[in-house]
Structure 1
Amino acid sequence: MQHFFKWFSAVLVIMIIVGGGWFWLQHQPGSKNLSQRKPIVQKTVRVVGVGDSLTQGIGYADDHKGYLPLLKKQLKQTYYVKPQTANFGIGGERSDQIDHRVQTSQKLRRSLRRADVIAVTAGGNDLLQALEKNIMVNNDAQMTNHLAPLKTAYQQKLTQLIADVREVNPHAQIYLFGIYNPVYVYFTNATMITTAVNQWNQVNREVAEAQSQTHFVNIDSVLSFGQYQSASAQAKLKAENRQNDQAFVDPQKVEKLLQTQDSKEKNAYLSTEDHFHPNKKGYNVMASKLNRQIQSNVNWHKR
């Protein structure tokens, strides 16, 4: 009987210790009863990119994937989500041509209809066409006057594009990218190009701000200035470009630059293939800028 009592006492002590430890563990900050824990369900989010070559991905290893795979990776690292992406970018298209596809392509419309996020790149080809029409202009005042009606027409086309995207999908968040100056690091003082890019970017910003659930994604300073972001780097760049120290650039010089394929691209964010489109580093900037904007406008469960 005495042996049984010792055995029973030992078992009772062990039960008290184990039960007390379990009770203590469950009441620690952040602890939760395992039976009450629910697995985090990963939400499927659909991201559709529509636009020109910046959506298509031209310039990055000729794979035509651009920023979307990079964004997909970033979203998976930021949120408990399963991103699905669709790329509807076609190089060389103006805003009205992109809009035509939005209105007529059933495949695109189906994809837009199911999207949670819609990203749009537009404006670069509209601006190139406007500049090509005014290559003989040789002062700021004339350029401003000549661009004014073209800028107004562009704003109307871009507004219609975003409105047509919104008509297809009334609920998705829309993100409209700005544009950049791909030859800035070579023609730092070419105010004609810089002024035009600034004006077109202002249009994109105003159109985005005028629409519900539509946001502007600014990529100008990083992709235009490249690694020359500080004031001292800018001053050094201007000193290096004194041979091109004019407000108005010979279009033939620009065309020659864009047709040169070598490994000496001066802007670390642009492709050596055409000195115009982003490389992987540049497309990663686009993905990161878009990811930050998305974070400001969604309530997905963060990691």
Structure 2
Amino acid sequence: MHKRVLVTGGAGFIGSHLCERLLARGDEVLCVDNFFTGTRANVAHLLGHPMFELMRHDVTFPLYVEVDEIYNLACPASPIHYQFDPVQTTKTSVHGAINMLGLAKRVRAKILQASTSEVYGDPGVHPQPEGYWGNVNPIGPRSCYDEGKRCAETLFFDYWRQHRVRIKVARIFNTYGPRMHPNDGRVVSNFIVQALKGEPITIYGEGLQTRSFCFVDDLVEGLMRLMATEDAVTGPVNLGNPGEFTMLQLAEAVIELTGSASQLQFLPLPQDDPRQRQPDIAKAAAELGWAPTVPLREGLKRTIDYFDALLSAGRAQAIAAD
């Protein structure tokens, strides 16, 4: 029997891919988004689907619907977007979590929180296991997102302990793929767009800081597997690709795959930028039977094709203005 599933932030990069997968499985999907960073273009191809519904709504306000499962993905996730209105970013994480948990409690739905590797801050442990409490600056320019997500996790576990709400918490590491926002300021989209335009590729610091890049299809599979687990499995569970690459290595791969003549441009390192980020995914392997399968070069090719088509059609400007 199909489920009625609510996806907040469903018109965003990850959310739109999740909506697709849920529909393909036969579920009824209610996609909720306020279109701050999500775009209608991401779900335009789903609007004619008889099991898909799109609702404009901000999760900082209560929502009254009947659903079986909730994926709470609503929150700007790139520094450029979450620092644009930091107070609203914190409200989205905290008030949004309270409202969605309240909904889950009322209708007895299972609810998954899309948390983030940013809860680990600039980690003193490498790679980062779920038991590591993190090294986060509570008053820095990234705090609206980092601490907002940490507080959301607190709320989820308190609702679980106090009200027995069935929760799942996923800590998402760097994810990339088609439908990333072209101006989101994240490294994969930055490098690809700059390379395709023949502009200098901007690298912060010496480019030796590392990240781990998970292709969006792998990430969505992990989210759905986590939601499908028994109630005793709450997380938090790291979801990401443990392959670790420096910014220089990523830039070189993008230049090679695009055939670009772009040169590297080195800029000062932003405040509180983590030096290392790599997930320990032993828990995901053990509890979900999950591991990423898409190699970085293959995922980059598919992402480059998306941005190439976007730029060729002049749609990047339209999306940026949406």
Is TM more than 0.5 here? Answer: no
Q: Which has the larger radius of gyration?
A: 1
| TM-score normalised by the chain length of structure 1 | 0.39
Bigger proportion of residues as helix: 1
| TM-score normalised by the chain length of structure 2 | 0.37
Bigger proportion of residues as strand: 2
**Greater relative contact order structure (CA < 8 Å, 6+ sep):** 1
